[in-house]
């Protein structure tokens, strides 16, 4: 990360370029509660970011970046998407020395176009965070975020608030281990396998009949599905291992479990492998 504090009065510097490649497995890509509605999926991703840094005064940095990402969901092409968006962030170190805490805040946005065009959306968020290194090897990261997204179809539109925590342990210059935890409250989409009855499309899972709000038949998956917009809380926790494989290159293996507590609860596990390189 480009977080070195520049000298006072330094001009804007950049662009700094980085790219990523990833492979993600989701065991419940449909966010289904139970039964045959749970479908897994592999997603292959690639992205790039250009960043600029400007010194805003003593121990203060202004960071601006522009990112572009591509995701291909191998079994469900309707989830394939291309996204682009900017980010603006201000960081301030509260004291001198390597263990002084850092606070930051900013805004970001994103335009995403999906092969299933009803999912295409514009989104934006405000965020703020805190970073504290206790020793050379141990670091705590905290972040809060609030955002909203507006899709072409109401079912895929919503807002949310999220808190996240990460504890990094770097026993050597090459290795990093981390544990993560998070909480999210807001709109999400739950999927239910469906069948065509004389009254039209209906969910097979009886739990869906208790849901209120927007819903829609979607042809995205290998089976007929109804997607519902629901308001729910999600707790997450996970772990990751990230060795450096070169001077500017690292690999990260991450596992995360999501437990969503809503009208019809569901669980989703994700395993990802990613490669990041900075130029």
pLDDT digit string, tens, across residues 172-204: 999 999 999 999 999 999 999 999 988 888 888
Q: What is the mean pLDDT of the chain?
A: 92
Say what the pTM is. Answer: 0.90
pLDDT mean over 145-162: 97
| Residues of the chain above pLDDT 90, percent | 81
Beta strand ranges found along 27-137 (DSSP E): 41-57, 60-73, 81-93, 102-114, 121-133
pLDDT in tens, 81-114: 999 999 999 999 998 888 999 999 999 999 999 9
| Nearest-angstrom CA–CA distance, 184 and 147 | 11
Taking residue 271's Cβ as centre, other Cβ atoms within 10 Å add up to 14
CATH of domain 13-278: 2.40.160.40
**Using an 8 Å Cβ cutoff, are 230 and 216 in contact?**
no
pLDDT of residue 10: 46
Q: Report the Cα–Cα distance between both ends of the chain, in Å, rounded.
A: 11
| Nearest-angstrom CA–CA distance, 135 and 132 | 9
State the sign of the Cα–Cα–Cα–Cα dihedral 78, 80, 86, 91: positive
Does residue 138 carry a pLDDT above 50?
Answer: yes
Does residue 5 carry a pLDDT above 70?
Answer: no
- For 221, list phi and psi in degrees, rounded to 5: -105, 175
Spatial neighbors of 11 by CB under 8 A, at least 6 apart, are 54, 55
Distances from the Cα of 105 to the Cαs of 66, 130, 132, 140, 145, in angstroms?
17, 9, 15, 16, 10
State the sign of the Cα–Cα–Cα–Cα dihedral 154, 29, 43, 248: positive
pLDDT of residue 270: 98
**Using an 8 Å Cβ cutoff, are 253 and 273 in contact?**
yes
**Using an 8 Å Cβ cutoff, are 126 and 106 in contact?**
yes
Point out the least confidently predicted range of 135-144, 163-172, 207-216, 239-248: 207-216
Greater model confidence, 56 or 61: 61
């Amino acid at each position: 990360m480009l977080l070195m504090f520049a000298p006072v009065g330094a001009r804007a510097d950049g662009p700094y370029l980085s790219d990523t490649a990833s492979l993600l497995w989701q065991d419940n890509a449909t966010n289904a509660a139970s039964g045959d509605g749970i479908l897994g999926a592999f997603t292959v991703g690639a992205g790039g970011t250009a960043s600029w840094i400007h010194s805003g005064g003593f121990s203060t940095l202004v960071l601006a970046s522009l990112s572009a990402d591509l995701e291909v969901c191998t079994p469900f092409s309707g989830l394939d998407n291309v996204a682009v968006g900017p980010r603006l962030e201000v960081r301030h170190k509260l004291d001198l020395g390597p263990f002084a805490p850092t606070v930051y805040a900013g805004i970001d946005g994103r335009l995403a176009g999906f092969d299933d065009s009803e999912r295409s959306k514009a989104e934006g968020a405000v965020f703020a965070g805190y970073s504290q290194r206790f020793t050379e090897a141990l670091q705590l990261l905290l972040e809060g975020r609030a955002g909203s997204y507006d899709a072409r179809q109401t079912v895929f539109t919503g807002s949310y608030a999220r808190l996240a925590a990460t504890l990094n342990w770097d026993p050597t210059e090459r290795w990093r281990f981390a544990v993560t935890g998070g909480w999210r409250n807001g709109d999400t989409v739950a999927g239910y396998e469906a069948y065509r009855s004389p009254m039209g499309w209906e969910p097979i899972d009886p739990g869906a009949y208790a849901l209120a709000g927007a819903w829609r038949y979607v042809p995205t998956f290998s089976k007929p599905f109804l997607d519902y917009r629901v308001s729910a809380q999600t707790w997450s926790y996970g772990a990751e291992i990230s060795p450096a494989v070169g001077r500017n290159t690292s690999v990260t293996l991450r596992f995360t479990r999501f437990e969503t507590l809503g009208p019809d609860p569901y669980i989703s596990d994700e395993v990802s492998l990613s490669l990041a390189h900075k130029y």
